[in-house]
Structure 1
Amino acid sequence: MQIATIDYQAPHAAQLFTQSLRQTGFAVIVHHPLDWDLIQSIYVEWLNFFQSEGKHQYRVRPDMKGGFFPADLSETAKGQTVKDLKEFFHIFPSGVFPEHLSNQTHQYYQQALLLAKQLLQWIQDFSPADVQKNYSEPLPQMIEGSESLLRILRYTPIDTQDDYVRAAAHEDINLITILPAATAPGLQVKDISGQWYDVPVEPNSIIINIGDMLQEASQFYYPSTTHRVVKYKNQDLEQERIAMPFFLQPRKDVVLSERYTAGAYHTQRMQELKVIQDGKILL
């Protein structure tokens, strides 16, 4: 599997980007407009947060939007029986946020949102006519009026001498995901034969991948590729990994296909992830 690295400033960047998404579900972008120094500063700030006891006062509850998910509340990937070994914080513009942290994360949120609209427009423009006609509205418009999810992830140290799967094989739920290169390697994608490949980690790069909702809206023209996160046996046992995926979510009323609205699809996937059971959010 060959995931392309695209120069955002190149003349044919949009076409090359969408070609890679079509072929692999993934693309890597360099020379992008996101502030890399800001991203690195956010990583440091959130690692300090996760290493503190103060994180527990933000533990997510049914009556709050966003918040801290400790390892015991981590997801169980679809088809898996064991929770991923990770902890994370969900950030929405109108949600809970640690009061002692800076506004850097919110600055990044707005930067990434602008980039997402540009990338969705590229995908729209380079979708074949027969695919475009099935979009219920232009792709960038689908996220207008919706609060997309920014997740700050911490993968904790693993005391093992073997390769270890930190996040089990899964597909993302949303339209696209924007993921700056994390503080350590480990992201892998699976091809149709079942072979795993490392996603290239370029300095100052961001990774974009297709989510299930765009796969559905494009009638499977753009594939939502299975991926996972591993810790390699040659990595430091004390190594932590901070990652910051931004899940671009359409409004709940957006029609993805004859089968689903975005809201109905999201609910179904939450049930599969065991976050919702019998209509109740499980914490």
Structure 2
Amino acid sequence: MTRPAIPVVSYQDLVGPRAERQRAIATLGQALEETGFFILEPHPVSPEVVRRAYQVATEFFALPNAAKTQYALPEHQGKGGFSSFGSERAKGHSMPDLKEFWHVNHHSLADDSGAPWPQEVPSFRPVMTRLYQQLMACAEVLLAACSDYLAQPSDWLGAMATGGNTVLRLVHYPPVGQAAPGSLRAAPHEDINLITLLCEATAPGLEILTQAGQWLPIQTTPGQIVVDTGDMLQNLTNGLFKSTTHRVVNPQSGSQARLSMPFFVHPRPETDLTPLHSLVDRTGGVPQFPPITAADYLAQRLREIQVASVG
């Protein structure tokens, strides 16, 4: 049986003439309704910035654990920094994920934040700052397209994300070796936020759960970004946009490492995520998700996955 394809959306069309933009918006919206995922190709993020980001991330994660854990101090909570191997587990799963990661967020980008940056890798901060800024600019275009598809003002979702707790997560999946039974690089989960942008990873492993209950491998190539709906946007749209379960499976070769760089676009904490009335009408007339603020939603989910606040 032929596997279903993930729809491809052209960034150039999204910023192009009206007719091309409307077709691209329709493809984008239908993809988020049906699968919760699409591939953006081409995209405006510099290939050289992506390459350099992976290079400096590799340098950081190659440091001894003692050097890395100095950036995981409690006083840095909410300002970004390092989270050690096995420090996070997916909601409903008892085994920790086989990964370590670094967060870059809006606090850590502020010059006076006192946020940690790895002094051992001097180019880490400028490179990650450029990547964050380019991904944010791309996300703003995608949020406008989502807003238009949902028959809202073009700046509806973008205004929510302005000043939000958006996070660039640099994830290192070390070689798994003899992994404990049932443990995965990232157990099945859904993203928490509005939308996620994922630059091409350095190795395969990402899979999404189709409506037919099958796991579909997704491997991007250079020049592609995978975009998916998070739970917050699913809540806000009353389920019109799907937040799809996905995972990162262990490699066939236990010696293979993997790096990825998801960009989680969050709204401001005070944002009301109550399903919009007009979108309730489009989805059967009955609210399927609760009234809740972004701050309360995020706090609830972070408790469930046992990870410190991102904001």
Scaled by the length of structure 1, what TM-score is found?
A: 0.88
Q: Secondary structure at the match of 1:237?
A: coil
Determine which of 162, 173, 181 is the counterpart of 1:144: 162
Partner letter of residue 6 of structure 2? Answer: I
Deviation of residue 163 (structure 1)?
11
Give the 4+ runs in structure 1 shifted more than 4 A.
Answer: 160-164
Deviation of residue 196 (structure 1)?
0.5
- Between 1:92-101 and 1:16-25, the stretch displaced more is 92-101
Task: Give the aligned partner of residue 225 of structure 1.
Answer: 244
1:124 and 2:160 aligned: no
Deviation of residue 274 (structure 1)?
2.5
Task: Give the aligned partner of residue 93 of structure 2.
Answer: 80
1:9 and 2:23 aligned: no
Determine which of 70, 84, 106 is the counterpart of 2:84: 70
Partner letter of residue 93 of structure 2? Answer: Q
1:250 and 2:273 aligned: no
Distance 1:98 1:232, change over 3 A: closer
Distance 1:50 1:125, change over 3 A: same
1:199 and 2:218 aligned: yes
Task: Give the aligned partner of residue 263 of structure 1.
Answer: 295
Deviation of residue 230 (structure 1)?
1.0
Question: Identity rate of aligned residues, in percent?
Answer: 37
CA distance in 2, matches of 1:164, 1:29: 31
Whether contact under 8 Å (1:91, 1:97) holds in the other structure is: no
Deviation of residue 203 (structure 1)?
2.8
Distance 1:26 1:60, change over 3 A: farther
- Between 1:152-161 and 1:244-253, the stretch displaced more is 152-161
Partner letter of residue 124 of structure 1? Answer: S
Partner letter of residue 70 of structure 1? Answer: S
Q: Secondary structure at the match of 1:266?
A: helix
- Between 1:140-149 and 1:89-98, the stretch displaced more is 89-98
Gaps of 5+ in 2: 14-19, 109-115, 275-289
Deviation of residue 55 (structure 1)?
1.6
Q: Secondary structure at the match of 2:132?
A: helix
Deviation of residue 9 (structure 1)?
1.9
CA distance in 2, matches of 1:219, 1:62: 37
Deviations 1:235-282 (A, max 9, x none): x43211110011001001000106111011111111211237xxxx8x
Deviation of residue 25 (structure 1)?
0.3
Whether contact under 8 Å (1:186, 1:231) holds in the other structure is: yes
Task: Give the aligned partner of residue 98 of structure 1.
Answer: 118
Q: Secondary structure at the match of 1:94?
A: helix
CA distance in 2, matches of 1:116, 1:203: 18
Deviation of residue 192 (structure 1)?
2.5
Equivalenced residue count is 269
From the two aligned structures, give the one with the greater helix fraction: 2
Partner letter of residue 248 of structure 1? Answer: V
Deviation of residue 202 (structure 1)?
2.9
Deviations 1:92-122 (A, max 9, x none): 2432222333201101111111111110000
Deviations 1:212-235 (A, max 9, x none): 0000011110000000001332xx
Partner letter of residue 89 of structure 1? Answer: W
CA distance in 2, matches of 1:173, 1:268: 10
- CA-based RMSD of the aligned residues comes to 2.2
Task: Give the aligned partner of residue 237 of structure 1.
Answer: 254
Deviations 1:160-184 (A, max 9, x none): 5999731000000000001001001
Scaled by the length of structure 2, what TM-score is found?
A: 0.81
Whether contact under 8 Å (2:98, 2:176) holds in the other structure is: no
Deviation of residue 6 (structure 1)?
2.2
Deviation of residue 89 (structure 1)?
0.5
Whether contact under 8 Å (1:157, 1:239) holds in the other structure is: yes
